[in-house]
């Protein structure tokens, strides 16, 4: 049977775009369909606009501390709508860049909702196409918990488009999204309460990272409630009222509630059942090469039950295409994936946490840690303490994990990822000469 395309990709987020360009390089006929803006969540409602907000918030802190460095006191105010317009202009530019890249690669871009008719046939806004292979890269979407009155809350998608910044905000969920928005909004002047059902913030990160970030947030005036959530939300004359339950049982009145309680695969109305694809806990089930239960259909990114990070999705998209057209291709290696929390203080990790390492290596684990105050804060009354931590296998001296809290933590830690991949030892780190004075040099003295 002759198909319209050798590969049909559903979703033009980071994974789909990376896959399309990789497939075009193999010289095959490729189509990519997107019902929203090019770039997916990352460009339009996630990583990029969020980090631009972080940069905007950093100016507030810089101006507050400028007088300690000899600058005259300057009086300024933040205009959210002006920033939002400039931000959206940049996002539009990035979408245009992606469109040009697809055109240059010879990829057919189809705009509209896509649905499976059968395992080889897809419908895009009433137009039918057939494909030899299909790649599903539709990403995920924010979800809300089942709480009475939850309709009064917004998700991160909606918060990015909000007309006015809230004076008082409650954030339900203490993962990296909740923590990052808490940090940013506090710098913009909002009164922030962040709560988490778990006994800590940033569940899954090293425990000392969790504690250091939480302490830093509290020092910045953010109220942090762990072991706490809301069981009822109601509109009142004084704003929105949350009935808290758990370690903190009280009524909290705010202007806005942000739900940052996780994401779910974006699979509604995709017609997955028509393609005969199997599921794994409401996500698409795949093997190590991203194949679904249908050998010619692949799935990558947040619509699968794997690591929900943009660089991972891109790597999965490229690796899936390689698996299609190069039988000798290697699958994605998930062992050494760096991650960052864009809060203030910033946190980053790569490798095993102390708890994970002890589960695998037992008593052979030793940890080396150091707290420090970066030079930037030497002239500023309010100090921000940093943390570096190594998790080491005592028997081999191999470094199994690096964890850091402090300025530029993400940039520093990701630079160490290849060293961990290659099996660097603690002694090799100690023999490394760093740059002085810098935050990164703290890693070489543990």
CATH 3.50.50.60 boundaries in the chain: 5-141+264-325, 150-261
Q: Which residue in 230, 294, 404 sits closest to 285, CA to CA?
A: 294
**For this structure, is 113 an active site residue?**
no
Cβ density class 421-433: b for 16+ within 10 Å, e for less: eeebebeebeeee
pLDDT computed for residue 210 by the predictor: 98
Cβ density class 318-332: b for 16+ within 10 Å, e for less: bbbbbbbbeeeeeeb
What's the CATH superfamily of 150-261?
A: FAD/NAD(P)-binding domain (3.50.50.60)
What 3-state class would DSSP assign to 308? coil
pLDDT computed for residue 394 by the predictor: 97
Q: What is the mean pLDDT of each run of 10 residues along the chain (446 residues)?
A: 93 98 97 96 94 96 92 88 97 97 97 97 97 97 95 96 96 97 97 97 97 96 97 94 96 97 93 94 94 97 95 97 93 95 97 98 96 93 93 98 97 96 97 95 93
pLDDT computed for residue 383 by the predictor: 86
Class in CATH terms, 345-445: alpha beta
pLDDT computed for residue 118 by the predictor: 97
| pTM of model > 0.75 | yes
Q: Which candidate in 108, 253, 403, 436 is catalytic? A: 436
Torsion angle, alpha carbons of 244, 245, 249, 253, to 10: 0
CATH 3.30.390.30 boundaries in the chain: 345-445
The yes or no reply on domain 5-141+264-325 and CATH 3.10.100.10 is: no
């Amino acid at each position: 049977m002759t198909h319209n395309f050798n590969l049909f990709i559903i979703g033009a987020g980071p994974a789909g775009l990376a896959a399309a360009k990789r497939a075009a390089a193999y010289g095959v006929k490729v189509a990519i369909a997107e019902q929203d803006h090019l770039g997916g969540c990352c460009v339009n409602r996630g990583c990029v606009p969020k980090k631009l907000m972080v940069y905007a918030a950093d100016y507030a802190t810089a101006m507050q501390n400028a007088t300690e460095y000899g600058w005259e006191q300057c009086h300024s105010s933040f205009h959210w709508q002006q920033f939002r317009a400039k931000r959206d202009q940049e996002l539009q530019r990035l979408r245009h860049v992606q469109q040009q890249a697809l055109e240059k690669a010879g990829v057919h871009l189809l705009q509209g909702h896509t649905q499976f008719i059968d395992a080889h046939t897809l419908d895009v806004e009433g137009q039918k196409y057939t494909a030899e292979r299909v790649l599903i890269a539709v990403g995920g979407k924010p979800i809300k918990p089942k709480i009475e009155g939850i309709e009064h809350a917004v998700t991160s998608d909606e918060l990015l488009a909000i007309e006015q910044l809230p004076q008082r905000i409650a954030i339900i969920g203490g993962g990296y999204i909740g923590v990052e928005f808490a940090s940013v909004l506090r710098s913009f002047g909002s009164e922030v309460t962040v709560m988490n059902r778990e006994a800590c913030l940033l569940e899954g990160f090293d425990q000392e990272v969790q504690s250091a970030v939480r302490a830093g947030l509290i020092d910045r005036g953010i109220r942090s409630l762990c072991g706490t959530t809301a069981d009822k939300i109601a509109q009142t004359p004084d704003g929105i009222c949350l009935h808290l339950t758990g370690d903190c049982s009280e009524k909290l009145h705010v202007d806005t509630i942000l739900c940052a309680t996780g994401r779910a695969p974006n699979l509604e109305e995709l017609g997955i059942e028509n393609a005969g694809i199997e599921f794994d806990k409401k996500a698409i089930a795949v093997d190590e090469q991203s194949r679904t239960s249908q050998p010619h259909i692949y799935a990558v990114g947040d619509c699968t039950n794997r690591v929900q990070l943009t660089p991972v999705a891109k790597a999965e998209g490229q690796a899936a295409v390689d698996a299609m057209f190069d039988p000798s291709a290697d699958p994605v290696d998930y062992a050494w994936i760096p991650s960052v929390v864009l809060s203030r203080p910033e946190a980053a990790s790569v490798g095993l946490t102390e708890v994970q390492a002890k589960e695998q290596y037992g008593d052979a684990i030793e940890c080396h840690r150091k707290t420090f105050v970066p030079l930037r804060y030497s002239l500023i009354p309010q100090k921000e303490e940093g943390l570096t931590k190594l998790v080491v296998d005592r028997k081999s001296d191999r470094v199994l994990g690096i964890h850091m809290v402090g300025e530029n933590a993400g940039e520093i830690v990701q630079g160490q990822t290849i060293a961990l991949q290659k099996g660097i030892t603690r002694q090799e780190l100690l023999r490394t000469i760093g740059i002085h004075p810098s935050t990164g040099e703290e890693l070489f003295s543990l």
